[in-house]
Chains A and B, each alone.
Chain A
Amino acid sequence: MKQQNVLEISGLDVSLPTGDRILSGVDLAIGGGRILGVIGESGAGKSMIGACIADTLPDALAVSAGSIEFDGLPLGSMTRATRRDLLGRDIGFIPQEPMTALNPALTIGQQFGSHLARIGFRWPKERKERTIQLLEDVHLPRSRELLSHYPHQLSGGMLQRVLIAMAFASNPKLVVADEPTTALDVTIQARVAELIARMVETHGASVLFITHDLCLAADLCDEVAVLYAGRIVESGAAETIIGSPAHPYSRCLSLATPTLSGPPRPLLTLPGTMPSALERSVMAGCELAPRCPVAEMRCHTDKPLLASTTTGHRSACHFPERVSAIQAPAEEPQAAAREPGPDVVLRAEGLAKTYIARDWIGRMRRVEALRGLDFEVREGEFVGVVGESGSGKSTLTKLILGLEDVTTGRLDAAGFAGSDRSAATLRALRAQVQLVFQDPQSALNPRRSIGSLVTQSLEVRAERPSRAARSAIARDLLAKVLLPPDVIDRFPDQLSGGQKQRVNIARALCSNPRLLVADEIVSGLDVSVQAQILELLKALREEAAISLLLISHDLAVVRHICDRTVVMFRGEIVEQGPVEEVFGNPRHDYTRALVAAAQGGTSLRKTMSQSQ
């Protein structure tokens, strides 16, 4: 019963004017009512596929070969106007960042109304009723009131619901969703993914689901295509690709992703980075070969083509049978049994912080950012602080670093009481307790060289080391974070995101601190880069005997590298203990919700099978 595919992409090439290819030979097909996931890390070219369908490629790029057929019609032979006319009518789009995807100067009602007017609702009254109904369909409460709201008055999750409602308003045949959950809070992510799945069922649309998230794709999609360096390396049914991949890259990706279930294991790290479009042009063999754990001579000289391994499953690898042999490195036995030292590096007792806020008529209002925190971090111990935005995580960081006064309670960091805030104490404290900033882009002055960045804190020492000594220290620190010594004279803009984060960590190590406070340091990174950084932190624990307070929204990351976790909710600690205990058997409702959201998939499948 082979029916026509809604979208069929074959041999698609997207090239720069120089001839270097961003996408090469991409084949994709989506059947009616199916969800196809395209998985890839940043730079793989996955967003370009959506741009090709919408005819919104950046000016410098062009489709240089191949065809896209939508509903049996070749898009390439249509006029621009015809193609534009398909958008919003037959093809809907769900954007990555809902917070910026709606016009801040127009109300929800106005924007929804103009969309409905375009797809053929002629009367304002009709449009209004339809809008309200569509908003109710995506479970937005009080949808009538929402019409007069502006986007900034809604949360990210609500905005994404509005955008999903808009995308499905015209009963499109195809919906392109480009990382629709990435910018949202964890607990919201699962619900939005679930909503998309439900909308697909009710509207019978097909979905091209672009994501970097392996687990999400496994849960939501029927078929999956894995994109690496502009080429599809594997495609087939979602369960098969996640469960028994036939391409080393897919296998490595899933081994590099920390999980919340199953036995804890070290992550597999892929060396190096994905080659850029220019680098690919001169590669004769497989693009993955330089990083691949099972590559041999032939892989470097001979490009493997996408070929069937089993029915409906295709892989672009010379040796698909070797893939299952790829394993994560074994846990070093002494690391597993390692106990934290006896010294307490950070201790909070009844710690509370209250801000006094004044509203516009000068009334005072007390905002309790933190209430009654009790926890400690011991020497060599890694502790993960988990919570969503607004849970008080950043206030805690400020208190630990002595940037703000403690309101009540005690806070001892590296032997310095939080109440003593003289300049000398603070300086000594901050040599012992170092903050690793979340965003290396912002944390590294673009006008300083890497060498001067990592030794920046030495510049204020009374006995300032000589230039040669500083250069030696810099080289030493860069070696600790596994960066080649020649980056010392480069500038941040010349490094990749992962390399910048390494510099950021190296800089924090400069003063030989006892405690690192790391604020969401892997949240913006790709899976393979994240694995590299996490394994680096683990290695540093063995080598430098530092403690780590890792603030993260990602439970799997915390489970992977931390010994204990502290779960925060609205300024309070609701649960703390060893990671396996807390995440394996959560006792507080909020922890349970977090764990459920992070495991997303299982619950998602359940709702879907129930609705069937």
Chain B
Amino acid sequence: MPVFAVVSMLVFLALRVLPVDPAQMSLPPSATIEQVEAKRIEMGLTKPVWEQYAVWLGSAVRGDFGESAQYRMPTSTLVLQRLPATIELATCALAFAIVFGVAMGLLIFAARGTVLASAGMVVTSVIMALPDFLLALLFILLLGVLMPLFPVNGRLAPGLSVPDLTGFLLVDTLAAGEPRLFLNALSHMALPVLALGLAFSPAIIRVLHSSLVATYQQSYIRQARLRGLSDRSILFGQALKNAILPVVVLVGTQFGGLFGGTLLVELIFSYPGLGNLMLRAMQTVDLNVIMAVALIYCATTLIFNSLADAGVYLLNPRLRS
């Protein structure tokens, strides 16, 4: 929480020292210098920066992040419209990355010393060299253009619509009892989720693998073998609970990478989420929107950090006592 306060302050200060004038931007280009000056006073821009921050913070805690200069509507409304799409995307991608990464890590470790394990390591290195936005473009090229199996634009086929309940399409389509729409939404999500999830998985594979290797050098694993436990119960009953800890830490600290990746992946798939909103805002220097979205990115990352800390705490008895 203190981190979040510091971050909001830093972002606010950084954006205020920019050589752009929010007052001028919120008026039509034909506005006179006097009109701009009046607007500046109205917007409180003549006050000291600290006071401006206090004013901003005061309204921000009430959920008021000001008005978007470009869309001419409250920033909070804009953000809330887009937020569910991005959360849905990131959650699915993270779930895919964890399932795929942990499965691959276990597989490569269990097959250690064989050709299968080496092949798995090579595949991991290859994926590692392909960041999410390149994977997204490659998928469009291969599965959208050369072999058109998946749609590559938006969240639903044009012309379809779903009653807006939660904003999470997968939930809304199911709630509306429309399996056809659900599948359509799912097929639209397939490639972006795959791109984001796959790009995140090599880190999980490598950390899990090397953590398993390290764990197997511990003397309690040796002792478990000397008690005659089977390989399977050593791996799942003894080693995994210890070896998974670095993976939890990794997911917590590196989640920002995946979440930031939604920005480009949304752009590439024309996916109507926060990322596209942010990119547009940055191109038009829409300060209130930039500020609000940046803080959402930051808050989400921090929440995930704390979740990972809690996970480590639960899994490691040494921290509990």
* A152 CA / B220 CA spacing, docked (Å): 13
- A54 partner residues in chain B, CB cutoff 8 A: 225-226
Does the CB pair B220–A103 fall under 8 Å?
yes
In the assembled complex, the Cα of A107 lies from the Cα of B233 at a distance in Å of 16
- Asked if residues A88 and B317 are in contact (CB atoms below 8 Å), the reply is no
CB-contacts of B282-321 with A (<8 A): 315-318, 321
* 10 tightest Cβ-Cβ pairs between the two chains A and B: A88-B228, A87-B228, A88-B227, A93-B226, A150-B317, A101-B223, A105-B241, A100-B219, A103-B220, A105-B242
Picked from B218, B226, B241, B242, the residue with its CB within 8 Å of the CB of A56 is B226
Q: What's the Cα separation between A118 and B233 when bound, in Å?
A: 11
> Which residues from A are CB-within-8-Å of B225?
54, 56, 84, 87
CB contacts (< 8 Å) of B222 on chain A: these are 56, 95, 101
Q: Cα distance A385–B241 when bound, in Å?
A: 43
Chain A hits for B223, CB < 8 A: 93, 95, 101-102, 163
Question: How far, in whole Å, are A12 and B318 apart by their CA atoms in the complex?
Answer: 43
Closest to A84 in B: B228
Task: Judge whether B321 and A153 touch: CB under 8 Å.
Answer: yes
27 pairs, CB–CB < 8 Å, chain A vs chain B? A56-B225, A84-B228, A84-B230, A87-B228, A88-B229, A93-B223, A95-B222, A96-B219, A100-B218, A100-B219, A100-B220, A101-B219, A101-B222, A103-B224, A103-B238, A104-B220, A104-B317, A104-B318, A105-B316, A106-B238, A114-B229, A114-B233, A118-B229, A150-B317, A150-B318, A152-B321, A166-B227
> Judging by beta carbons under 8 Å apart, are B241 and A106 in contact?
yes
How big is chain B's contact interface, by range? 20 to 34
B238 contacts across to A, CB distance below 8 A: 103, 106
Enumerate chain A residues within 8 angstroms of B228, measured Cβ to Cβ.
84-89, 118
Interface presence of A559 (CB below 8 A):
no
How far, in Å, is B49 (CB) from chain A's closest CB? 35
Task: Give CA–CA (A105, B220) in the complex, Å.
Answer: 11
Docked complex: B257-292 residues within 8 A CB-CB of A: none
B227 touches A93 (CB 8 A): yes
Q: Does B237 contact A (CB under 8 A)?
A: yes
Does A87 lie within 8 Å of B226, measured CB to CB?
yes
B227 — which chain A residues lie within 8 A by C-beta? 87-88, 93, 115, 118, 166
A476 within 8 A of B: no
Cβ of A97 within 8 Å of any chain B Cβ, yes or no, is yes
Provide the residues of chain B in CB contact with A114, threshold 8 Å: 229, 233, 237
In the bound complex, CA of A166 to CA of B224 (Å):
11
Complex Cα gap A86–B229 (Å): 11
Q: Known interface pairs A100-B218, A102-B220, A114-B233. Does A88 touch B318 (Cβ–Cβ under 8 Å)?
A: no
Name 7 extra pairs, CB < 8 A, besides A88-B229, A100-B219, A104-B220. A86-B228, A87-B227, A105-B316, A106-B241, A114-B233, A150-B317, A152-B318
Taking a contact as CB atoms under 8 Å apart, the answer to whether A97 and B233 are in contact is no
Most B-side CB within 10 Å, residue of A85, A102, A104:
A104
Q: Determine whether the beta carbon of A104 is less than 8 Å from that of B233.
A: no
Cα–Cα distance between A84 and B233 once the two chains are bound (Å):
13
**Please, which residues of chain A bring their CB within 8 A of the CB of B316?**
105
- Give the distance in Å from the alpha carbon of A86 to the alpha carbon of B225 in the complex: 11
Task: Give A contacts to B, CB under 8 Å.
Answer: 54, 56, 84-89, 93, 95-97, 100-107, 114-115, 118, 150, 152-153, 163, 166
Q: How far is the CA of A85 from the CA of B316 in the complex (A)?
A: 31
B interface: dominant SS:
helix
The smallest C-beta distance from B31 to any residue of chain A, in angstroms, reads: 58
CA distance A101 to B218 in the complex (A): 8
Within 8 A of A (CB), among B138-192: none
Most buried by B among A84, A102, A103, A114: A103
Q: Chain B nearest CB: distance from A180 CB in Å? A: 12
A residues less than 8 Å from B219 (CB atoms): 95-97, 100-101
Q: Give A87 to B242 CA distance when docked, in angstroms.
A: 24
Q: How far is the CB of B248 from chain A (nearest CB, A)?
A: 13
Residue interface bits B195-229, CB-to-A below 8 A is 1, else 0: 00000000000000000000000111011111111
How many angstroms between the C-alpha atoms of A480 and B238 in the bound complex? 51
In the bound complex, residues from chain B placing their C-beta under 8 Å from that of A84 are 225, 228, 230
> Contact at B242–A150, with CB atoms within 8 Å?
no
A118 to chain B, nearest CB (A): 6
Give chain B nearest CB distance to A131 CB in angstroms.
Answer: 14
Please give, as numbers and ranges, the residues of chain A lying within 8 Å of B317 by CB-CB distance. Answer: 104-105, 107, 150, 152
Which of B219, B223, B226, B241 gathers most chain A CB within 10 Å? B226
Q: Give the residues in chain B near A100, CB-CB below 8 Å.
A: 218-220
The contact string, 1 if C-beta is below 8 Å from chain A, for chain B 224-259, is: 111111100100011001100000000000000000
Question: In the complex the two chains form, is B237's CB within 8 Å of A88's CB?
Answer: no
Q: In whole Å, how far is B130's beta carbon from the nearest beta carbon of chain A?
A: 34
Could you tell me the distance between the alpha carbons of A568 and B20 in the complex, rounded to whole angstroms? 73
Q: How far is the CA of A9 from the CA of B50 in the complex (A)?
A: 83
Residue of B nearest to A100 (CB): B219
- Min CB distance B274 to A, Å, is 38
Minimum Cβ distance to chain B for residue A462 (Å): 47
Could you tell me the distance between the alpha carbons of A47 and B279 in the complex, rounded to whole angstroms?
A: 64
Q: How far is the CB of B211 from chain A (nearest CB, A)?
A: 13
Closest to B318 in A: A152
User: Closest residue to A103 on the B side, CB-wise?
Assistant: B220
Most buried by A among B222, B223, B224: B223
Expressed in whole angstroms, the minimum distance between the Cβ of A483 and any Cβ of chain B is: 33
- CA of A114 to CA of B229 in the docked complex: distance in angstroms? 9
Q: Provide the bound-state CA to CA distance between A153 and B319, in Å.
A: 11
A400 to B225, CA, bound (A): 47
Chain B residue at minimum C-beta to C-beta distance from A163: B223
- Which residues on the B side are within 8 Å of A107 (C-beta)? 317
Name the residue of chain A whose CB is nearest to the CB of B226: A93
- Minimum Cβ distance to chain A for residue B128 (Å): 28
- A134 CA to B223 CA, complexed, in Å: 19
A474 to B110, CA, bound (A): 52
**B-chain residues with CB within 8 Å of residue A118 when the two chains form the complex:** 227-229
Complex: A230 Cα to B317 Cα, angstroms: 42
Which residues from chain A contact B242 at a C-beta distance below 8 Å?
Answer: 103-105
Query: Chain A residue with minimal CB distance to B225?
Result: A56
Bound form: Cα–Cα A166–B223 in Å: 11
Which residue of chain B has the shortest Cβ distance to A150 in the bound complex?
A: B317
Alpha-carbon distance between A88 and B218 when the two chains are bound, in angstroms: 19
Q: Which residues of the other chain, A, contact B226 by a CB distance below 8 angstroms? A: 54, 56, 87-88, 93, 95
Q: When chains A and B are docked, how far (Å) is the Cα of A95 from the Cα of B225?
A: 12
> Whole-angstrom distance between the alpha carbons of A275 and B233 in the complex?
41
> Of A89, A96, A101, A150, which is in contact with the most chain B CB atoms at under 10 Å from its CB?
A101
Contact with A along B19-45 (1 / 0, CB 8 A): 000000000000000000000000000
Q: A115 CA to B242 CA in the complex, in Å?
A: 19
Q: How far is the CB of B245 from chain A (nearest CB, A)?
A: 8
A153 vs B318: C-alpha distance in the bound complex, in angstroms? 8
Please, how many angstroms separate the alpha-carbon atoms of A366 and B81 in the complex?
58
The CA of A56 and the CA of B223, in the complex, are separated in Å by 11
> Contact flags (1/0) for B61-103 with A, using CB distance below 8 Å?
0000000000000000000000000000000000000000000
- Among residues of B, the one whose C-beta sits closest to the C-beta of A59 is B113
Q: Chain B residues near A104: list those with CB within 8 A.
A: 220, 242, 317-318
B222, B227, B233: most-surrounded residue (chain A CB, <10 A): B227
B213 to chain A, nearest CB (A): 14
Report chain A residues within 8 Å CB of B241: 103, 105-106
Nearest-CB distance from A386 to chain B (Å)? 30
Report the minimal beta-carbon distance from B124 to chain A, rounded to whole angstroms: 23
Q: How far is the CA of A106 from the CA of B230 in the complex (A)?
A: 17
**Given that A87-B225, A88-B227, A166-B227 are contacting pairs, would A105 and B321 also be in contact in the complex, using a CB cutoff of 8 Å?**
no
B321 touches A150 (CB 8 A): yes
Residue of B nearest to A85 (CB): B228
A100, B226: Cα distance in complex, Å: 14
Q: Which residue on chain B has the smallest CB distance to residue A55?
A: B225
CB distance from B256 to the nearest CB of A (A): 28
In the bound complex, residues from chain B placing their C-beta under 8 Å from that of A106 are: 238, 241
